[in-house]
Amino acid sequence: MINGQIVFTEAPPTGASNIELTYLGDKAVVTPYLSADTNGIIRINASTLTENCTITTGYNGSSAGPLTVANGVTVTIANSSTWTIF
């Protein structure tokens, strides 16, 4: 963030028609908004988690299952946070 404005340092992935912007306090993360339809009503997620991730204090996470966490991948969830797989 520079002078109160979010400044993108990288473009969204090629072919991404919609993006999701997450502000993490000291940086903004841009990811494709994955949807099975053009209106974003049906969100989709991969069925295998292939990278380490952390759900920090003050946040909760959710995923549609079934879901596999790949070998060697760690999911860290803060004590007051939750991860719901439905």
Predicted confidence (pLDDT) per residue in 47-68, tens digit: 999 999 999 998 898 899 999 9
* Residues shown for the chain: 86
In angstroms, the CA 35 to CA 3 distance is 33
Answer yes or no: is pLDDT of 1 > 60. no
* Alpha-carbon dihedral sign for residues 8, 15, 63, 75: negative
The structure's pTM equals 0.60
Distance CA 78, CA 3 (A): 31
Mean pLDDT along residues 35-45: 74
